[in-house]
Structure 1
Amino acid sequence: MPDPLYFCELLPNIKQVSVSIESEDGEIPSSVGLHPSKRALTVRYGTRTTHIMLPTPVDSPSITLPPAKTYRLSASQTYLSAGEYDVLSDRVQDPWDASFLSPWSSFCCVACTTTIVPRGRIQKWKNLPSEHWADMMDLWHCHKPHNKDGDSEGSRYSGVGRIVAEHTVGLVDPMYFLLRKEDCDNTGIEQTGSNEAETVICQLCNVPLGIVDAKADGVRLMKWSLSLGLGSLKYNVDEMLDSYTLPQWLSAHLQYLVDNTGQRKFLIKPGASILSQQHLDGSGERTEEVCEGLHIWVFNPNTLVTRSEKPTPTRAVKVYYQKLISKEELDGLGDIETVYLPRIIHNRFERLLEEVNTSLPKELRTWAGSWKGGWLERF
């Protein structure tokens, strides 16, 4: 008989650890005890024993627990106030921002390691402001500029202050780099039709790397498509490569949206790019006409989890989601922040959530009828 499926989550607001256990035949454990380390439960099914690792130590008045499939245990107050938990729970700075990069930094295709941005090509890295900055200017000013007819020109900030890619300068967004096309090697352009954002691809393996940002006279290279070279211009040695998983980049983007919009629910649709002005996908179909999307609820942006597949504590974003496939469902959401991901990434995101959902104990897979449970590993 295989080991039971389990999922444990720290609930930081109420300082508890939620535990869900599911055996293959739905059997309730014959006995459950707290391990002396208080970091695990010892679960017995007859003569068979297994251990369930917890995301944090717990405090329990008794070493023996009543046999059950679910538990709510008090997280150790001593541990929560200790430095070890602070390291795990504190907001981690998103990697590869301008302060982390230097002229020695290089980037390769994550799929085939072909050099895309050579060392020494970019002399200066600058962080980009939020993509909503021009819209916020309209709110910050008490006295907006007016034209000669007396009409407000607040809506023209984005045109006046548009961001343009510069030669040998890398502009850094949490999700992408904005560069001049001539500063990139081994890239090609995949035509997608008139008035559409063209796709930047790796010339060697044809993997999509980003899009052409015609408005900014440059290209957006998505961070999840790249590996960072950790070598040095001073030494002619094989350089190590640093990269992160797609779930980590997606969870960082959700956290970024929560921080910058004050919202927790978003509609994720397939489109040319994140927050693209054109909202077009590579098939030539306008995204506005595609009646599909993922309704995402960021339920807990920062938690710790342990699970059957990975018993060590993992930083995660807990989400609920709904797959929407009709115009009526999309219209029923009302006024909601819409986020566009390249179609290939949108499809991978959907598959990722489905895989995570099926790996959970059955009682955690759905909530309130129409919501499916899921989570994303985060930085």
Structure 2
Amino acid sequence: MANLYAEYLPNIKTLAVTTVLQTPRDGTTALWLSNDRKKVILEHADETHRITLPAKVTGQGTQHLQLPNTGELQCVNRISAAPIFDDDEPPALWSASSLNAATNLHCKRCDALLSSNKISVWKDLPSEAWAEMMDLWHCHKPEEPKHTDDDAPAKKGYAAGNKLVAQAGVGLVDVMSFLLSDDDCTVEFRSSENGDNVHEVYCITCDTALGHRDPQTEGIRLQKPYLALSQGGSRTTRSYDPAHWFSCYLNQAIETQGVRKFVFSTLPYEIWVFSTNLAYASLEYPEPKQAMKVLFRTKQGDQDVETLRAANLLIETLTLSPMLEKLLYQVLQRENFKLPDSLKKFMGWEVAVLPVLYKADVKALESATYPWL
């Protein structure tokens, strides 16, 4: 099957349209922009393919584009264009403000109910690097006046002056997980295979790994990519593709840590978020989508992050759990496989395009379900 892939590069205001044929061109092969310049259309081997362009091309009337040369199967057309998307900030998915006492947690794979009518309050944790912030505060906190209410910090669930502890009836939320008390969710515990005293958490119904018991907070950390939500007594659950979760995570990591290169803590890979404001369309997603371009490769050399920082290289370690690091790498490989061959590599890095959800996308996907990865 032929392939069409269009990518808008905002920094140089250029639309790159990649065309891939399965068989050499013949007299019936044609590639053109539609009369309103909003679509690109390919006719080849008695098939017609079309996608909506992810950028605005000026002018009117049909415009024929270059086809692959004789004997070749692929070509790229570059066209001056303007953006069609606004410069909005992507929202945090499933933040505390979007949840309420009627929110139920389910296993994404089998829809088994994990927590029902037990969480009355949801609170956002400060950032995805909150643990490091708490450690820093404990080392450098100033003198504090005595409080008449000794239980005030504990009632907040977390505070700069006390240890973060999971509380019954309170759901703590960060970009990739929920932190709940043992009493607030129904799961199965198992000791980790590597014997590091970490208890992993599984769905009782389908045996899917969902997260782990967090000894520091004395709670259960459920990872969002493996969950679905419902409201009240509704049987409809909603969830997101893992790629959406990781683009959300990486956008927040860039904002809070100020870097675009990261190394995995448990796997021998590194990533580089090359662009956060990409727009693209393909035969798989024929309508324009916003995305980020992530480069990934096996980690070069054996230098640790501290050594690289000392060399003035802006790089940080991902703050993901081992199970999420493994899932991230699987997602990057999956998205790389979808690209045309000529776009799969760049300067020694493999390339992945992760879709990014904005407010309008979230609203449109509220009831969507996705294949299990």
Query: Normalised by the size of structure 1, how large is the TM-score?
Result: 0.76
Report percent identity of matched pairs. 30
Match of 1:262 in 2: 258
Gap regions ≥5 residues in structure 2:
68-74, 144-158, 310-314, 358-373
CA pair 298-27 structure 1, distance change in 2 beyond 3 A: farther
CA deviations on 1:283-337 (whole Å, 9 max, x unpaired) are xxxxxxxxx432111111232211122211122221111134x863778982331
CA distance in 2, matches of 1:72, 1:94: 34
1:307 to 269, 279, 282: 282
RMSD: 3.2
Alpha-carbon offset, residue 243 of structure 1: 0.9
Q: Secondary structure of the equivalent of 1:255?
A: helix
Aligned to 1:53: 52
Provide the C-alpha distance between the structure 2 equivalents of 1:181 and 1:195, rounded to a whole number of angstroms: 20
Mapped to 2, the partners of 1:134 and 1:230 lie a distance apart of: 30
| Mapping 1:343-354, distance limit 5 Å | 343-354=322-333
Q: CA deviation at 1:249?
A: 0.7
Contact 1:5 1:360 in 2 (8 A): no
Shift of 1:163: 1.5
8 Å Cα contact 1:230-1:242 kept in structure 2:
no
Partner of 2:302: 328
Report SS of the residue matched to 2:302: helix
1:121 and 1:294 map into 2 onto residues whose CA distance is 39
- 2:293 corresponds to which of 295, 302, 318: 318
Partner of 1:227, secondary structure, is strand
Q: Quote how far apart the aligned CAs of 1:15 are.
A: 2.8
8 Å Cα contact 1:266/1:338 also seen in 2: yes
Contact 1:28 1:67 in 2 (8 A): no
State the distance in 1 between where 2:26 and 2:272 align.
32
1:41 aligns with 2:40: yes
Distance in 2, matches of 1:362 and 1:12, equals 22
SS at match of 1:334: helix
- Could you give the per-residue CA deviations for residues 249-301 of structure 1, whole angstroms, max 9, x where no partner exists? 1111111111111111111243xxxxxxxxxxxxxxxxxxxxx4321111112
Alignment of 1:95-244 (within 5 A): 95-118=93-116, 120-133=117-130, 135=132, 145=142, 160-185=161-186, 187-192=187-192, 195-232=196-233, 238-244=234-240
Query: Taking structure 1 as reference, are residues 36 and 61 closer, same or farther at Cα in structure 2, changes over 3 Å only?
Result: closer
Where does residue 363 of structure 2 map in the other structure?
Answer: none
Deviates more, 1:332-341 or 1:18-27: 332-341
* SS at 2:96 equivalent: coil
In structure 2, what residue type is equivalent to 1:309?
A: E
Distance 1:35 1:66, change over 3 A: closer
Task: Work out the CA distance in 1 between the residues paired with 2:58 and 2:26.
Answer: 23
- Quick check: 1:60–1:73 contact (8 Å CA) kept in 2? no
Aligned counterparts of 1:306 and 1:24: Cα–Cα separation in 2: 19
Residues 361-376 of structure 1: pairs in structure 2 closer than 5 A: 361-368=340-347, 370-376=348-354
Q: Is the 8 A contact 1:6 1:360 kept in 2?
A: no
Stretches of structure 1 lacking an aligned partner (at least 5 in a row)? 147-157, 233-237, 271-291
Matches of 1:134 and 1:251, distance apart in 2: 21
Q: Could you tell me which amino acid in structure 2 is paired with residue 183 of structure 1?
A: D
| Distance 1:330-1:116 versus aligned 2 partners, 3 A rule | same
Please report how far the alpha carbon of residue 343 of structure 1 lies from its aligned counterpart in structure 2 after TM superposition: 4.0
Change (3 A) 1:189 1:159: farther
3-state SS of paired residue (2:78): strand
Cα distance in 1 between the residues matched to 2:272 and 2:236: 37
For residues 128 and 332 of structure 1, what CA distance do their matches in structure 2 show? Answer: 26
The structure-2 alpha-carbon separation of the partners of 1:331 and 1:179, relative to structure 1 and needing over 3 Å to count, comes to closer
1:13-52 Cα distance to aligned partner (Å, 9 max, x none): 3333221111124659964322012111233458765434
Cα offset, 1:348, TM superposition? 3.4
Taking structure 2 as the reference length, the TM-score comes to: 0.77
Partner of 2:337: 358
